[in-house]
């Protein structure tokens, strides 16, 4: 499974390189790259795999109807994405007097993406290598443990009402996502690229990651290497920071 995860993430990296650095991309690929859809999808998908909200959705799906958990989680993530893009656009428009001479929003986006790239690599590098006999021990100190703690805090009574399940999924995911690196990455991309493309790409990335969590999150939790995901995610952040910087010039 680690090999499969590595292949998937390396394919994402290869796709990103093709989109940004290929000489004559197809019209569809060029349009997606220009809109910010591709960058947002790649960054959010890689950021969310193995993240706290990924495991929250997986744990909730073990207790409640998967469709309700997916609906509540995606409502929270979609709202967070829209808020993040709006913040990015507001940030880009301030101060307005500098817009014609200095691309403040783009520089801020580059700085934020580069920061999260280096931080992801640094944090992942500090993690111990996951080996077969140590899976449970290594997961106890990571994002899975934090997600389990959050879900336990809300598990006082067995919930049967669909509205209650929706609200629990929405509230847990929304507040866990607030201030997370994927939110800040969306703000950065929203300031530098098309808001519609970034919003749609980020929501699509959240949807794919959340579906994976709900369908097989418990199984993947035992086999995904948090270190590998963190390293490749950091490289992807740096890749898009460089692409945004080259776009400025």
Angle at 25 between CA 235 and CA 205, to 5 degrees: 45
Model confidence pLDDT, tens digit, residues 135-159: 444 444 466 666 666 666 555 556 6
Give the structural domain span for 233.
2-248
Model confidence pLDDT, tens digit, residues 187-213: 888 877 888 999 999 999 999 999 988
Model confidence pLDDT, tens digit, residues 16-29: 444 444 444 444 44
Burial (Cβ within 10 Å: 0-12, 13-18, ≥19) of residue 249: exposed
Domains contained in the chain, number? 1
Whether the model pTM is above 0.75: no
In this structure, are residues 2 and 24 in contact, taking their beta carbons and an 8 Å threshold? no
Which tokens is 122 given?
Answer: 């640094």
Position with higher pLDDT, 219 vs 196: 196
Residue 54: which of 218, 166, 184, 203 has the closest Cα?
218
């Amino acid at each position: 499974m680690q090999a499969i995860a590595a292949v998937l993430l390396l394919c994402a990296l290869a796709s990103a390189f093709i989109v940004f650095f290929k000489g004559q991309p197809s019209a569809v690929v060029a349009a997606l790259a220009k809109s910010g859809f591709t960058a947002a999808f790649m960054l959010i998908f890689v950021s969310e795999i193995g993240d706290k909200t990924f495991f929250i959705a997986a744990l909730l799906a073990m207790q409640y109807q998967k469709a309700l958990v997916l609906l509540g989680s995606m409502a929270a993530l979609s709202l967070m994405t829209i808020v993040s893009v709006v913040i990015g656009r507001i940030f880009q428009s301030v101060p307005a007097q500098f817009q014609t001479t200095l691309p403040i929003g783009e520089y801020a986006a580059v700085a934020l993406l580069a920061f999260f790239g280096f931080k992801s690599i640094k944090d992942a590098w500090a993690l111990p290598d996951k080996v077969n006999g140590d899976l449970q021990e290594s997961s106890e100190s990571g994002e899975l443990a934090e997600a389990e703690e959050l879900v336990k805090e809300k598990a006082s009574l067995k919930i049967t009402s669909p509205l209650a399940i929706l609200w629990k999924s929405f509230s847990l995911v929304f507040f866990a996502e607030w201030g997370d690196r994927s939110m800040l990455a969306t703000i950065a991309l929203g300031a530098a690229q098309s808001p519609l493309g970034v919003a749609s790409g980020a929501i699509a990335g959240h949807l794919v990651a959340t579906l994976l969590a709900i369908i097989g999150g418990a199984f993947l939790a035992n086999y995904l290497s948090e270190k590998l995901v963190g390293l490749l995610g950091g490289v992807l952040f740096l890749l898009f920071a460089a692409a945004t910087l080259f776009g400025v010039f």
